[in-house]
Amino acid sequence: MFKVAAVFTGALFVGLGGLLGVSGTAWADGITGEVGAGVSYQPHDPTGSRYETQPIPYADLDWGSVSLGTDDGLTWSALNTNGITAGPYINYLPGRTANGALRGLRDVSDMAEVGGFIQYAPAEFWRVYAQVGQAVGGGRDQSGVLGKLGGELGYPLGGGIIGSTGLMAHFADARQTQTFFGVSAQESAASGIRAYNASAGFQNLTLTQSFEFPLDTHWSLLTSASWTHLVGSAANSTIVKETGNVNQGQVQTAISYKFD
Quick check: 48 pLDDT over 70? yes
Share of the chain above pLDDT 70, in %: 88
pLDDT above 50 for 136:
yes
**Chain centroid to CA 233: how far?**
20
Quick one: pLDDT at residue 12?
A: 33
Residue 133 carries which DSSP code? E
State mean pLDDT over 18-29. 44
pLDDT at 29: 57
**Does residue 53 register a pLDDT over 60?**
yes
Q: Where are the domains of the chain?
A: 14-259
- pLDDT on residue 81: 94
- β-pairing verdict for 84-93 and 111-123: antiparallel
Q: Which CATH architecture has domain 14-259?
A: Beta Barrel (2.40)
Average pLDDT over residues 221-235: 98
Mean pLDDT of 106-132: 94
Enter the pTM of the model.
Answer: 0.85
Distances (CA, A) of 141 to 137, 184, 203: 11, 12, 18
- Whether the per-residue pLDDT at 5 is higher than 50: the answer is no
Bigger pLDDT: 71 or 53? 53
pLDDT at position 13: 35
Looking at residue 151, its pLDDT comes to 96
Strands (E), the chain: 31-43, 51-63, 66-69, 73-76, 79-81, 84-93, 111-123, 126-136, 145-158, 161-172, 201-214, 219-230, 247-259
| Average pLDDT of the segment spanning 68-97 | 94
pLDDT tens column, 147-192: 999 999 999 999 999 999 999 999 999 999 999 999 999 999 999 9
Q: What is the mean pLDDT of residues 81-107?
A: 94
